[in-house]
Structure 1
Amino acid sequence: MAVLAATTGGALGAPAAAEGETPPGQVDFPTHCLPPQEAGLPPADGPTTARITVDNPAPQVGDTVTVTYQVLRTPAVAPLDPNGAGGELPADTLTPTGRILLAGAQSGEVTVVGAKRNDPVPAGTPLPAVTMTGTFTVTAPGETTLAPGSYTLHTGHLLELDTTCTADTASAAPVSARLTATPLPTANLRSVLLGAAHGGPGDRVKVTAAGFPPGAAVTVAGRAGAAETADRVRATADERGTALVELPVTDRATTAVVAYEGAAWTAGRGSGPAAYTVIAVTAPPSFTPPPSVTAPPSVTPPPSTGTQKVTATVEPGALGMTQTGEDITLGAVPYGDGAAAPGRIGTVTVTDARGGPAGWSLIGKVTDFTGPGGIRIPGASLSWTPRCVAAEGSRSVCTPGSAGAVGADGALLASTPDAPLAGGTFTIDATVTLKVPPYTPPGAYTAVLTLTLS
């Protein structure tokens, strides 16, 4: 397990539509805008044209989503000069704030704020388009709709004035954007631990199956590659989710042991395989002395001879790995630019001394990157390009995983195939890149990368 950290600076702007097309999510709704008394203006009624976009329309529960609320047209107008001199609203004196209304799987409001940025506006003419952004955390799976709520246009010239615009009470603002959230994946903590890594045919191996739901029916079985062998026992997990059994290994094809719930092993309800080798023991042939020979009196009998069988045993070892270093620091990214933070994982050395036919796989999973104020960068934004080299004399061929995203679902870092006789020492590393969205708030963003060998 390694900790990854990236330093930067995300709200994503909405993509522009082709000329003549209405951008997706653009809506119109009747609005009542109420200027302050000091503005010298009557209430304004008319349509508001708005658009809401999200940076991630398919998040997981717990993700932080950035939302953008654009007011493209408003009936609100620039305030008059209180001294009656006409004039105009100067540049960069308009600050917008607003609300986005959530409904469906998740309800509530999101507060959005815009920058103080505008061209000069003649007094009494419509105020210009504004853009506001904000974030919220996804708390429920399913579809959530986003509709434009009220917005306030604050002007800071001569007087501090607020013009508040709300949807006509007779017709609520229509839905402008949608997102569909998926629940967080449930980690599979099921595992098996063997009391011995090898034995003769018929030996009983002690097995500890852990990480199961308390009271679950657990099957402990032998495996040969992806297929089960005839070796099998069943037990019930105790209140800690653990089952202790003795598995008689009689099938000489068995090369590993697994534990699972249900009628058959699955990745979601079963453990990874624990390597086991069946060692065939053969007795040396019995020695029969040659028959005695009576030599003639004049002949001396030859000396008697005997033979013995000499046996040496090669003991199988284990499958294991080591990794250099603990933390991974990615390169810094300048604020404002959407850029890639580069880095490299600590070199992993896998040693396979089991001496059997089973290959192995090394899987990596990464959590979301969490930064200041709980802002997240999805773990799927981290990608890698793996590399694997087998040491001289290794029996197996090491294949690196494909270049691509890592994420919470995991990706293959390296593997070796099943073979009549597998084993060796393998050096694995990978370059990694974190894609940082534009305008991600500055600070350090940290995630956890976990490597699992099975």
Structure 2
Amino acid sequence: MSNRRRRRLAAVLGAVALAAGTGALAAPAHALAATPVDFATHCVPPAIAGIPPIDGTTNATVAVDNASPKVGDKVTVTYTVNKPAASNPVDIALPADIMTPTGKVVLAGAQSGTVDVTGPKKNDPVPGKGAFPAFSMSGSFTATKAGAITLSPGDYNIHTSYIMELDTPCTVTNPPAPVSGTVDVTDGGGQVNERAITADPASGNAGERTTVTGSGFTPNADVTVAGWNGTATTADKITFKSDAHGAFTARPKITDPATTGIVAYEGASWNPAAGAGPVAYTVTGTPPPAGPSQKLTTAVNAGTLSMSQAGDGVALGAVDFGKGGASTGALNTVTVQDFRGGPAGWSLTGKVTDFTGPGGSIDAGRLSWTPACATKAGSPSVCVAGSATTVGGAGATLASTPNGALTGGEFGVDAKLSLDVPAFTPPGAYSGVLTLTLT
């Protein structure tokens, strides 16, 4: 099988895998059991895969680590897709650890909203024509009001890093999906954790920065923003102080390819009760090379606007006394080089003197031309030939280029010449001077 064919199949496989699921990831051991529910799912593979949307049934559960929290407690939720909507449609296997899931859990009842959940970039190899195993994603929310809160699986997305970076969003066809779990919140007098963060952009190449904005933190407190790999923080960390209102803006550099989210917290280590997140973040490329580095610089010098010509004499065709008519020829090719590298275009004009000879003169207004202009490949500008017109002593435009953000290039300019000689012009040689001006 050709490499091109394999890459095509790999892209298709990656897209279908996104719609279906990733390698098995067990739910945290402390998560409480939840009710598996079925719901219709609509998954849209990337356009490059060349396959239609996948409509099927997803079976999932939403479990929590504490089903009876008090107001102010942080509750960790685990969204597990037990049975995806599709399976591997071809014989080529997918490798391990290429898929990163993210999704949302929908809250209703005493507290409404959604919880962002992320999973680690970890999956078992998927055999050709094999079923996709389950995958899990986790996140947390703070209980803010006493009463029963229902939890339902929501939309999810799988990002794959195999051959190319692909995303396939899978949405609940008829939201909300059935309730999978319930949390009964009691009013224990606890303080609500109002800390919150956002990350923009939510993805980037390894080594790029994102802007994390936080609110609700303790004023003037030490705050750490860190990468999150689905179960723990990564080495991508930055620590600073919140402002007098408990807000901050940070620009962490995310380099760990295993990062699936970002968290922020007060204290020496991650603590959901004194932190916020995770919010989803996807690393889309490999880290920059490690070790010593050297910054390389160069310069491009601006040149000049100039022209040259293939010759300085043109012999027009002879005409007969008593008949006269068109005495024709061709302008020697003029080469224009615009190496200035600026925004200005140029204009090449010409004017001619009267043609003088032994029997008098032929008026300059009887010379006309039909210009032509060719642009050398790769030139930023495109040459425009002037109009077919009379040249005369007043002159006319032979060729030009327009102004632009970046102009320049090399151009070849030609013209067909025609002198209209009166029928009874006295015999002899007549000559005039055509002067070209480049501005």
TM-score class, shorter: 0.3 to 0.5
- Report the TM-score, using the length of structure 2 for normalisation: 0.36
Greater relative contact order (Cα < 8 A, sep 6+) = 1
Greater per-residue helix proportion: 2
Q: Which has the larger radius of gyration?
A: 2
